[in-house]
Every structure is written in structure tokens, then in C-alpha cells.
Amino acid sequence: MSTAKRSKADRRLDAVFHALSDGTRRRIVDGLSRGPVSVTELAAPFVISLPAVSKHLDVLERAGLVRRERDGRFQRCHLVAAPLDDASVFIERYRSFWHATLEQLAEFVEGRAESPPSTPARSKRKQ
């Protein structure tokens, strides 16, 4: 499917997963989960430059996960949790699939099954 035809929700979810694909950005999100902090405070535990932290914040901001408030040169960052809820809903949809698949694999490995695990039938995705 072309990028132009993808829904806005798909693009937002892609941005969230892209933002969370980096360990530094996940640690930034974790830091922000405790409450708003300045960019300088947020950067303190990292061994990267302040401009590098700012670039990570840009990615998180584009994904809708971070909101920055500016007061002159001072910036305070806030976590925006709604996009995380969307990602959680997406992941939860597949939890039962993975649970069943891993359960079948465990049975096979432990010798409780007579044949290799079969892949559960996938539902057709709406186009």
C-alpha cells in the first residue's frame, strides 16, 4: 500500500513505534513518566550531547509522545501518554495469538504434542 493511501492512524502508530525503537528515546520516555522536567535535567543521565538529546526529543515530539513548553530559552518537557495507549491496543490485539503459539511450542518442546505446532489461522485484515 502506498504511503498516500495509509490512514492517519497508521502513520501515527508508525511514528510511535519508530520513536520507541531507540533505547535512548525509551529511557527519555521513562524519565518523563515521573513528571515534567527541563531538557537539561532530562539530558543529565545520558553521555550524549544536549543537541543529541534534543534530536531524540524531536522524534518523540513528531510521534506525539512529548510536548515541550518554552519560556525564553528554558524548555520543560511533558509526556503525552495517548499515543502509548494506541500502541498498547495494537499490541494487545496480538497477545492471544502469541500466547497460543508459544503454548503450542512449549508443548512440542516438552514432548506433549505429537506434531510440530501449527500456525493459528490469521484473520484477514480489512483493506
Mean residue pLDDT across the chain: 84
**pLDDT value, residue 27:** 96
Cα-Cα end-to-end distance for the chain:
10
Alpha-carbon dihedral angle through residues 72, 77, 83, 88, given to the nearest 10 degrees: 180
If pLDDT is split at 50, 70 and 90, which confidence band does 113 have? low
Residue 62: CB atoms within 10 Å: 14
pTM exceeds 0.85, yes or no: no
Ranges of each domain in the chain: 7-80
* Annotation: CATH topology of 7-80: Arc Repressor Mutant, subunit A (1.10.10)
Q: Read off the C-alpha cell for 79.
A: 509526556
**pLDDT value, residue 119:** 58
Q: Is the dihedral of CA 95, 101, 102, 104 positive or negative?
A: positive
